[in-house]
Amino acid sequence: MPRPIVATIHTDALHHNLQRMRHAAGTARVWAVVKANAYGHGIALAYPGLRGADGFAVLDLSEAATLRELGWRGPILLLEGAFEPRDLDACSRLDLWHVVHCDAQVAMLAAHKTHVAQRVFLKMNTGMNRLGFAPERYRAVYARLAALPQVDDISHMTHFSDADGAPGITRQLALFDATTQDLPGERSLCNSAAALRYASTAVCADWVRPGIALYGSAPDYPERSALAWGLQPAMTLTSRLIAVQQLQAGSTVGYGSTYVAQAPMRIGIVACGYADGYPRHCPGSNAQGTPVLVEGVRTRTVGRVSMDMVAVDLTAVPQAAQGAEVTLWGRASNTAVLSIDEVAQAAGTVGYELMTALGSRVPVRSA
């Protein structure tokens, strides 16, 4: 028998979450963001649940090629655009739309030899200060692109730095609108947080670009949970108890003996560790554990996470024996749900990081 850990990708949940984002976005079309191998879910496994999107947004040409191999004939957007001139040949071959965020990309386009003009998304830096042209330069770059025979349609985009928090989107939205207001072309501004929190407002524009919400994680947790947003977990990480230990008062658990039993108790040893992508930062001290489901019953981790194992308190599940189902995040067999966001918060990170850091040794299957 193989080691009992497995990640399950829920096609029905992806489909549901896509519909949820469509509803939030009003009349806007939806790019399903599937960068980072569909946020760790696997593009091929996520595709059946997301094929109802209007387009797919990726970072790597290989991800775009995979989508074409899967039979996707609709729009694909390269979110960081071309990295070198020959990427533009691939854009022609695979019929990709691509972001233009810097002068080097404009120069690549101007030097590109093609019979088919390309569709581009011109990116404005409205305050995130990662990619894009400053508003003062934006219109001049637009004019330069519009004059190039290599360029067909030009759309406008920006990315919010604070859509998930108190500062909000007002300042960046005002800059974007003021700079682009009389320019022709479609517009795209919203990630998951912006589309959910500012749903059905003009900010959803022509295209929204949700990623994390499609995978069932709340972009603004803990202010609102995935459940509160009507999102379902798209990934379940399941394993089993491979041993059970009876502890006496004063016994300790794991490396560094960070957990000390205060009274006799049973613990289970789970076949899941940090080499599987379960964060070593998950607390397991007496003061604080990390939530986990054993046979669908909520309990907590005890002791440090090691490379291949983590221990769980079985006090709440006295019937649990070797072989019992353990849900590290996602949906248990009894339908109980443990949000990846809760585990991420315990580990001091976000759901995005946990799903994209799933260990390469974990088998992934769809259901």
Ligand X SMILES: *Cc1c(COP(=O)(O)O)cnc(C)c1O
Using the structure block, give the residue that is written with the tokens 């599937």.
Answer: 34
Using the structure block, give the residue that is written with the tokens 């986990």.
Answer: 292
Nearer to ligand X, 15 or 209 (CB): 209
Shortest spacing between CB 207 and ligand X, in angstroms = 10
Per CB under 6 A, does 211 bind ligand X?
yes
Angstrom distance (rounded) from CA 74 to CA 55:
6
Which helix (H) or strand (E) segment holds residue 330: the answer is: strand 325-331
| Catalytic residue status for 278 | no
Report yes or no: 143 and 109 within 8 Å, Cβ to Cβ. Answer: no
Angstrom distance (rounded) from CA 351 to CA 367:
21
Contact segment (CB under 6 A) with ligand X among 166-174, 208-216, 331-339, 354-362 equals 208-216
Per CB under 6 A, does 330 bind ligand X?
no
Which CB contacts under 8 angstroms, 24+ apart, belong to 88-92? 88/112, 88/114, 88/118, 89/114, 90/61, 90/64, 90/65, 91/118, 92/116, 92/118
CA distances from 71 to 35, 40, 65, 67, 296 (A): 18, 21, 10, 7, 38
Angstrom distance (rounded) from CA 70 to CA 123:
29
Nearest to 206 by CA among 226, 185, 188: 188
| Catalytic residue status for 255 | yes
Per CB under 6 A, does 127 bind ligand X?
no
Contact segment (CB under 6 A) with ligand X among 199-207, 209-217, 267-275, 301-309 equals 209-217
Contact segment (CB under 6 A) with ligand X among 85-93, 148-156, 211-219, 241-249 equals 211-219
Per CB under 6 A, does 209 bind ligand X?
yes
Per CB under 6 A, does 218 bind ligand X?
no
Per CB under 6 A, does 159 bind ligand X?
yes
- x/- mask, ligand X, residues 23-42, rule CB under 6 A, reads ----------x-x-------
Which residue in the list 35, 142, 215, 352 is annotated as catalytic? Answer: 35
Tell which one of 17, 192, 238, 290 touches ligand X (CB under 6 A).
192
Which residue in the list 39, 255, 259, 352 is annotated as catalytic? Answer: 255
29 backbone dihedrals φ, ψ, rounded to 5° = -80, 160
Q: Which residue is nearest to ligand X (CB)?
A: 211
| Residues found near ligand X in the complex (CB under 6 A) | 33, 35, 79, 159, 191-193, 209-212, 219
Q: Which residues are catalytic?
A: 35, 255
